[in-house]
A = this chain, B = another copy of it.
C-alpha cells in the first residue's frame, strides 16, 4: 500500500460530523485531482484499502462508487478500480504581472453571459468603497463567464455611471474593460483582496457546483487615472477551472515586460 500513507489514514475520523465513506471519498478525490494518483493507476483492492484505513469494505465500496459516478475512476469486476481522471495542471490562470492585459486576453478566449443589469442604490460597504452617497444610483451588473461552454466565474459589479456605452446590449458582447477604454476611462490601478468562500445556493447554481463547495473570491476596487474609484467587483471562481497565478521577485523594483 504505497499509494496511501499514514497522513491519508489520519484524515478518516469517526468522530467527525461527516460519514466515513465521504471522508474517504474526499481523500482519494484530492489525491487524484492533485496529480498524486494519475490516469491509469490501479487502486488497491477494496479489501486492502479497508484494512489500511481501518474501515469496512462497504465503506470503501461506497466511496469508490461515488468517485466512479463522478468520472474519477472506472470499476470492473476482476479488474479492479482504475483512475480515469486526467491530471491537467493547466487551468485558466490570471498572471498578475501584466494583469490588465491578460484580462483582455481572457475576455477574448471566453464567453460572458449577462444575468442582470440594473441601476440600483449600492449596499453600504459598496457605497463606502466607491465614495458615493448611499442614495446615489450606480449600475449593478451580474455576469457569468464561461470557458468552452462551462461556467468558471461569477461577477457582481457596481459601477459609477460613466456614460451611455455600458448598456445592456453592449455588455453582452464586449468586456467591461473594453467598454471602459472606449469611454476614455483608463483603469490606473486596482485594489483587491483574495479569500475563499463557500458557495451559496445562487452561486452553486450558476457555477454548477454544490452548495458549500469552496470558491476563490476576489473583491476588487478599480481606480481611474485620477485615482477615483469607479468600479467595485466581487468575483467568485471555480477553483478547478480558474486559479490565480503570480510570479514575484524579491527585488524592490520590478520591471515588467513591455507589450
Report yes or no: A36 in contact with B248, Cβ–Cβ below 8 A.
no
Report yes or no: A16 in contact with B211, Cβ–Cβ below 8 A.
yes
Chain A 213-245, CB-CB to B under 8 Å as 1, else 0, gives 111110000000000000000000101000111
Any B CB within 8 A of the CB of A125: yes
Given contacts A18-B17, A216-B194, A252-B258, are A23 and B211 in contact (CB under 8 A)? yes
CA distance A56 to B33 in the complex (A): 38
Q: Which of A5-13, A73-81, A106-114 faces chain B?
A: A5-13
CA distance A216 to B89 in the complex (A): 18
Any B CB within 8 A of the CB of A96: yes
Report yes or no: B194 in contact with A194, Cβ–Cβ below 8 A.
yes
Please give the distance in Å from A240's CB to the nearest CB on chain B.
9
Chain A residues 179 to 227 lying within 8 A of chain B, measured CB to CB, are 186-198, 200-202, 204-205, 210-217
Any B CB within 8 A of the CB of A22: yes
Please classify the interface of chain A as helix (H, G, I), strand (E, B), loop, or mixed, using the class held by over half of its residues.
mixed
Report yes or no: B123 in contact with A36, Cβ–Cβ below 8 A.
yes
Q: Which residues of B contact A253 (CB under 8 A)?
A: 255-256
Report yes or no: B10 in contact with A200, Cβ–Cβ below 8 A.
yes
Given contacts A35-B124, A211-B13, are A26 and B190 in contact (CB under 8 A)? no
Report yes or no: A12 in contact with B194, Cβ–Cβ below 8 A.
no
Given contacts A10-B201, A22-B17, A248-B96, are A214 and B196 in contact (CB under 8 A)? yes
Q: Which residue of B lies closest to A221 (CB)?
A: B247
Report yes or no: A16 in contact with B214, Cβ–Cβ below 8 A.
no
The interface on chain A, measured as residues whose beta carbon lies within 8 A of the other chain's beta carbons, has a size of 71
Question: What is the oligomeric copy number?
Answer: 2
Given contacts A125-B34, A211-B16, are A7 and B247 in contact (CB under 8 A)? no
Report yes or no: B193 in contact with A245, Cβ–Cβ below 8 A.
yes
Q: Which residue of B lies closest to A13 (CB)?
A: B201
Any B CB within 8 A of the CB of A99: yes
Q: Which residue of B lies closest to A101 (CB)?
A: B250
Any B CB within 8 A of the CB of A254: yes
CA distance A247 to B191 in the complex (A): 4
Report yes or no: B197 in contact with A214, Cβ–Cβ below 8 A.
yes
Any B CB within 8 A of the CB of A30: yes
Q: Which residues of B contact A255 (CB under 8 A)?
A: 253
Report yes or no: A98 in contact with B36, Cβ–Cβ below 8 A.
no
Please give the distance in Å from A186's CB to the nearest CB on chain B.
7
